Amino acid sequence: MTSRLGSVMRGLGVTVLVALAGFPIYWLFTTATHTTGELFGGHVHLLPDLGRFATSMRDAASGVPMLRWLTNSAVVAFGTTLLSLAMAILAAYALSRYRFRGKGVFGFALFATQMLPEALLVVPLYSIFLTFGLLDNLGGLVLSDTAFAMPVAVWILKSAMDGVPPEIEESARVDGCPRYAILPQIVLPLIAPSIAAAAVITFFDGWNEYLFANTFITDERKWPASKGLASFVGEFVTPLNHVMAAALIFTLPAIVFFLFVQRRIVSGLTAGSVKG
């Protein structure tokens, strides 16, 4: 009885949440599928014009190198994710499992990286990137985006590792698992969901980053999608339906792809686990 009531309650909760959080997305979609005349004609069109979907997408993508922008963003986003996770997993393990001198300072420093407004970072970083020849370089964007994304990943993973009882590691070692294999084979599979969450978060940090991209990349062939999308915002008039259609083109493939990959990450990591 309780359980049925519970699931009804949850169904209701999910529906309400999805409806509220989903409304701006629905509205973005609806706006993308109407003509300017319909949007500004004085009536509110509550339903998307599904028949126009393909046309609006084509219109938005016409005359701009959409595929190239998406590819560039993908490079930046994947680079950021991989680099962030690689460093974060190691650092998180140290924070979770060891006591060492300077641990507090390091932990605080991770938060400190999140404190400085971009406005103050972009000037010195530009200077550093100029010196190292990293301007107009997607690799440079990976480096700057990782500086922000990685500390967040460290904390997500550290919290997750804190939840893994050390007894599991002990018993694995007793079972003959070599020390270097503990982290990849015992700990990581157990925190697979958190790794996946950190991956989603860092991925979209890189995918959407705009300020550094705008300042560091001037070569149009290297623009990421975020900068491409901003170029739809005109000096005189911003075509709302085109911007929204472009926003969907930039967001949907990434999100679909990512949800698919996320499942693979979790199942892949879990499959390799040695049950403690």
Binding residues among 186-205 for another protein as defined by CB under 8 A: 190-191, 193-194, 196-197, 200-201, 204
Q: Which of residues 205-224 bind another protein (CB under 8 A)?
A: 207-208, 210, 214-215, 218, 220
**Considering the rule CB under 8 A, would residue 181 count as an interface residue with another protein?**
no
Torsion of CA 61, 65, 69, 70, to 10 degrees: 50
Determine the Cα–Cα distance for residues 182 and 184; give it in Å rounded to an integer: 6
**Considering the rule CB under 8 A, would residue 261 count as an interface residue with another protein?**
no
User: Which residue in 50, 120, 174, 271 binds another protein (CB under 8 A)?
Assistant: 120
User: Which residue in 132, 264, 267, 272 binds another protein (CB under 8 A)?
Assistant: 132
Q: Is 223 exposed, middle or buried (0-12, 13-18, 19+ CB in 10 A)?
A: buried
Determine the Cα–Cα distance for residues 190 and 165; give it in Å rounded to an integer: 10
User: Which residue in 54, 105, 181, 274 binds another protein (CB under 8 A)?
Assistant: 105
User: Which residue in 87, 185, 261, 276 binds another protein (CB under 8 A)?
Assistant: 87
**Considering the rule CB under 8 A, would residue 166 count as an interface residue with another protein?**
yes
Determine the Cα–Cα distance for residues 145 and 179; give it in Å rounded to an integer: 32
Are 175 and 133 in contact by the 8 Å Cβ rule? The answer is no
User: Which residue in 54, 67, 109, 181 binds another protein (CB under 8 A)?
Assistant: 109
User: Which residue in 231, 264, 268, 274 binds another protein (CB under 8 A)?
Assistant: 231
Q: Which of residues 22-61 bind another protein (CB under 8 A)?
A: 22, 24-25, 27-28, 31, 35-37, 39-42, 44, 46
Determine the Cα–Cα distance for residues 211 and 214; give it in Å rounded to an integer: 5
Are 41 and 163 in contact by the 8 Å Cβ rule? The answer is no
Nearer residue to another protein within complex by CB, 234 or 272: 234
User: Which residue in 58, 67, 118, 272 binds another protein (CB under 8 A)?
Assistant: 118
* Contact partners, residue 183, CB within 8 Å, separation at least 6: 89, 93
**Considering the rule CB under 8 A, would residue 115 count as an interface residue with another protein?**
yes
Token pair of 76 as six digits: 């930046």
Token pair of 216 as six digits: 């560091």
How many residues of this chain interact with another protein, rule: CB under 8 A? Answer: 128
The one-character DSSP state at 42 is S
Distances in Å between the Cα of 143 and the Cα atoms of 112, 129, 211, 264 are 18, 10, 14, 26
Are 256 and 168 in contact by the 8 Å Cβ rule? The answer is no
User: Which residue in 74, 85, 95, 182 binds another protein (CB under 8 A)?
Assistant: 95
Minimum separation from the CB atom of position 141 to another protein (A) = 12
Minimum separation from the CB atom of position 131 to another protein (A) = 4
User: Which residue in 54, 55, 67, 130 binds another protein (CB under 8 A)?
Assistant: 130
- Residue 204 Cα to chain centre, angstroms: 2
